[in-house]
């Protein structure tokens, strides 16, 4: 089976671009997306024993260990593969240890890595303009890119728009640093593995009607 690994800095547009391909029908029923954040949040009902350990780490302000993250993600991959699905991993592996474990555990699968390219300056620029609706989760910007119809108010539910804690400059800088220290070495390592096919994606073009033109990404999922 195919395992697609989607990696990129914060605000590289992974979620938006995968979502656009879903709407277009390119990412169809053959694929299932696994987001690590979602897996950790769902662990409470999926795997209560493990969840206790996760909670301890999080409450102590620590990162959840590689071992636990891998255990949860691999369990998910296995169960979807049994259903005959190609898996799209969003935000995993986050470091070289996780990358090695992925390749060791899924030796018979084709690993396809997609790196969503974006410069640090673009990350800072993007995150400084992002707004979101805490009620329904819709996202906007306070510049011309995707403004709400009425300033500060959600188009869909009239919620009051706010900034994510994640988008505050200090947090963004920390995440860029951890990307350089942790994720970049994982990407460099994966590039050298003979059974990994890689694609470095440029930013997509936004058309006049707001849809994305993203031919390289589309092509890669159709391989």
Task: Select 106 or 140, whichever has its Cβ closest to Zn ion.
Answer: 140
| Pairwise CA distance, residues 185 & 85, whole Å | 28
Query: Can you say how many angstroms the Cα of residue 68 is from the centroid of all Cα atoms in its chain?
Result: 18
According to the binding rule CB under 5 A, does residue 15 interact with Zn ion? no
Judged by CB under 5 A, the chain residues 29 through 58 that form the site for Zn ion are none
According to the binding rule CB under 5 A, does residue 150 interact with Zn ion? no
According to the binding rule CB under 5 A, does residue 135 interact with Zn ion? yes
DSSP annotation of 144 reads S
Strand pairing class (2-8; 31-35): unpaired
Nearest approach, Cβ of residue 135 and Zn ion (Å): 5
- Using alpha carbons, select from 72, 80, 81 the residue that is nearest to residue 46: 72
Nearest approach, Cβ of residue 167 and Zn ion (Å): 17
Q: Does a cis peptide bond (omega within 30 degrees of 0) precede residue 93?
A: yes
Task: Select 47 or 138, whichever has its Cβ closest to Zn ion.
Answer: 138
User: Which one of the spans 1-9, 37-45, 63-71, 158-166 is the region binding Zn ion (CB under 5 A)?
Assistant: 158-166
According to the binding rule CB under 5 A, does residue 77 interact with Zn ion? no
| Pairwise CA distance, residues 33 & 87, whole Å | 6
Question: Among 7, 10, 27, 133, which residue interacts with Zn ion (rule: CB under 5 A)?
Answer: 133
């Amino acid at each position: 089976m195919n395992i697609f690994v989607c990696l990129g800095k914060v605000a590289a547009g992974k979620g938006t671009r995968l979502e656009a391909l879903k709407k277009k029908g390119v990412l169809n029923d053959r694929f299932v997306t696994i987001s690590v954040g979602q897996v950790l949040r769902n662990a409470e009902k999926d795997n209560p024993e493990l969840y206790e350990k996760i909670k301890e780490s999080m409450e102590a302000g620590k990162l959840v260990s590689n071992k636990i993250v891998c255990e949860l993600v691999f369990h998910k991959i296995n169960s979807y593969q049994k259903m005959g699905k190609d898996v799209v991993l969003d935000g995993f592996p986050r470091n070289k240890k996780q990358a090695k474990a992925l390749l060791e555990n899924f030796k018979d699968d084709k690993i396809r890595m997609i790196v969503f390219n974006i410069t640090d300056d673009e990350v800072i620029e993007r995150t400084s303009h992002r707004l979101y609706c805490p009620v329904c989760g819709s996202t906007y910007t306070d510049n011309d890119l995707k403004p709400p119809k009425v300033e500060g108010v959600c188009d869909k539910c009239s919620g009051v728009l706010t900034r994510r804690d994640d988008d505050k400059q200090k947090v963004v800088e920390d995440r860029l640093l951890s990307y350089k220290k942790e994720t970049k070495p994982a990407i460099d390592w994966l590039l050298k593995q003979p059974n990994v096919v890689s694609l470095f994606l440029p930013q997509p073009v936004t058309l006049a009607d707001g849809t994305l033109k993203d031919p390289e990404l589309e092509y890669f999922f159709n391989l």
